[in-house]
Amino acid sequence: MPAASLLPFSSPPGGAGLGGGGGGGLGGLVGRKLSSPGAFRLTEKFILLLVFSAFITLCFGAIFFLPDSSKLLSGVFFHHPPSDQRPGGGGEEEEAAAAVAVESREEAAGNLAKIREDHERALREAKETLQKQADEIQRDIRRDKEQVARDRRGGGEGVGLPDLPFRQPVGAVGQEPADPDVRQKREKIKEMMKYSWDNYKLYAWGLNELKPATKQGHSSNLFGHIQGATIVDALDTLFIMEMKDEFAEAKEWVEKNLDFNVNAEVSVFEVNIRFVGGLLSAYFLSGEEVFRKKAVELGEKLLSAFNTPTGIPWALLNIKSGIGRNWPWASGGSSILAEFGTLHLEFVHLSHLSGNPVFAEKVMNIRKVLNNLDKPQGLYPNYLNPSSGQWGQHHVSVGGLGDSFYEYLLKAWLMSDKTDEEGKKMYYDAIQAIETHLIRKSSGGLTYIAEWKGGLLEHKMGHLTCFAGGMFALGADGAPPDMASHLLELGAEIARTCHESYDRTSIKLGPEAFRFDGGVEAIATRQNEKYYILRPEVIETYMYMWRLTHDAKYREWGWEAVEALEKHCKLDGGYSGIRDVYASRPSHDDVQQSFYLAETLKYLYLLFSDDDLLPFEHWVFNTEAHPLPVQHKDSEIEEDKSK
């Protein structure tokens, strides 16, 4: 599956981009405070301490503004005129008045003394109380700082990373193919990877992506100010291709330069599948602790995205302030199915690696919300409002906006060693509804998956939808009896349709979307659907179909794609997408997408590898093709015994 599954060139419709935002600070504390939701954050405690200090100063300062006693005794305070201004003379009345005045002054003095005494006692008590509270706040702050330090070291209690014995899963490195022709083709794909990497290193090192025509860096707004997307995305591809020097330099860059404390708003979906997924996979393949620490650190920052009334996360997150929002073009402020539904695999592993259950709890709550909603015709619309918990417009797609939600339901069940019965049921129920309402066959015999808009079908299939052929085939084993026999065949039919979309172009690489109406089949009819941005979905399905059937045509089709990439996409500075796949002399978009190294080249390499490299019984691939290990029940038992 692709990284940027929403729109061409990873940007929202109409060119809407992400705004600037924030970075480190409070975001890094989210995970630590999850165990005590009511606790103050560090910044809040500092503010309270300042308020208390100001209040004490104000109270003590007030004592100097009390009326002076001499003025009280002189009668000025009580507005009595001086004796030389009163009418009349002395005598007894004057003496009596004087006596009364003296008595009044004595009484006033006594009252003033009592007022001062009470006031001072109240101030002392307030000071003692406030000082006690201030001391408690300071103790909390010191304790939090100590906890942060422990977390940074990866030790300590609470959510500090547990010491996990590393066991490299089966099949992290495979054997070379015995067939010399297959071995030669696989070596060619490795050369393509090296060419992509070397040019990125030469012209865009440390930046997110490469512009191969102009030979400079390219930065997508999807990552905010986080840099190094190509490095993190390519880590596991470098490892499984045994490009040891390149893997070592990538690891060194991650150790020294990968920084999430940035002032930025990011796509939660894209950062999760590329950065979190890439780091997790690199850890499980290599055992290098830096990858585990970085993955958990970033995962903690993403937790703020779930701070919505329903727990359905925001699409965009300011990772410094923790403030989230949704794409302005998304139906009435809705979150997107493919985005909030594509977190499960990574977050379950984050809980395991961090010892903090909150990651898994967050994604399980998403299922709870979805299961409490009525599904129109059993289908999942692409938009869900995170505040009201209600669907947005009823647009259903197995391509962009919906795709990887269905993939993750199936793979959550597989990753759980087939114990996640809820995920399994949700997946097969959804596939049954898709079969009934979306899958159609053209007059020319091509099976395709249409899009559903409020009950009306749009007979269009996106390049992104082509992943579904592999998904259907992968889910055949374990499907309900009335579906199992059909799903492998359905996967083969989707693979054939998507191959036709490639074969019917000038360059033998397929368009972003193709249609089945107006007398055309598997052809793009609109100019804004004719581009190819090095996407992997068709090759992904070839790889799954090869693994599950060993039908030679899938390797033949894959090699056709290799030749087309070399002929039409390879430039002096790397590989570029094509603006129009039907043009006799195609122009280039000048972007080497990070998912080209993470997915397209990896799936091609696996297509020409033996099944012992990342075998399906031990690994599942996230939607960015990052392999994550199956959580086998027996290995958990062994781990418990070793403690």
Annotated active-site positions, please?
Answer: 512
What SS3 class is residue 440?
A: strand
**8 Å CB contact between 492 and 472:** no
| β pairing state of 324-325 and 619-621 | unpaired
DSSP 71-115: HHHTTTTTTPPPGGGSSS--SHHHHHHHHHHHHHHHHHHHHHHHH
- Give me 167's structure tokens: 């066991």
**CA 357 – CA 35 distance, rounded (Å):** 10
8-state DSSP, 383: E
Cα-Cα end-to-end distance for the chain: 38
Q: Which positions ≥6 away from 342 have C-beta within 8 Å? A: 269, 272, 273, 404, 405, 407, 408, 623
Tokens 């299961």 sit at which residue? Answer: 371
546 — phi, psi (to 5°)?
Answer: -65, -50
| Cβ atoms < 10 Å from Cβ of 77 | 15
- 281: Cβ–Cβ under 8 A, 6 or more apart, which residues? 235, 236, 622, 626, 627, 628
Please state, in angstroms and rounded to a whole number, the distance separating the CA atoms of residues 393 and 330: 10
3-state secondary structure of 324: strand
Q: What are 267's strand-pairing partners? A: 316
Q: Using the 8-state DSSP alphabet, how is residue 533 labeled?
A: -
CB < 8 Å & 24+ apart, contacts of 514-520: 514/460, 514/461, 514/463, 515/459, 515/460, 515/461, 516/440, 516/442, 516/446, 516/448, 516/450, 516/459, 516/460, 516/461, 517/459, 517/460
Task: Give one DSSP letter per residue of 253-268, joined into a string.
Answer: HHHHH-----SEEEEH
Q: Are 488 and 498 in contact (CB under 8 A)?
A: no
Measured CA to CA, the distance from residue 383 to residue 379 in angstroms comes to 12
Which amino acid appears at position 191 of this protein? E
According to DSSP, the β-strands at 209-211 and 216-218 are antiparallel
β-pairing, 619-621 with 627-629? antiparallel
Whether 536 and 466 have beta carbons less than 8 Å apart is answered as no
Q: What's the CA gap between 246 and 498, in Å, rounded?
A: 34
Among residues 341, 332, 338, which one has the least CA distance to residue 362? 341
Cα separation, 398 vs 450, whole angstroms? 8
Quickly tell me which residue has 């990439």 as its tokens. Answer: 565
Running DSSP on this structure, what letter comes out for residue 625? S
Could you tell me which of 637, 598, 501, 515 has the C-alpha nearest to residue 557? 501
Q: Indicate if the alpha-carbon torsion angle 86, 90, 93, 94 is positive or negative.
A: positive
Concatenated DSSP letters of 563-621:
HHIIIIIEETTEE--BS-TT-SS--B---B-HHIIIIIHHHHHHHTS-TTSS-TTTEEE
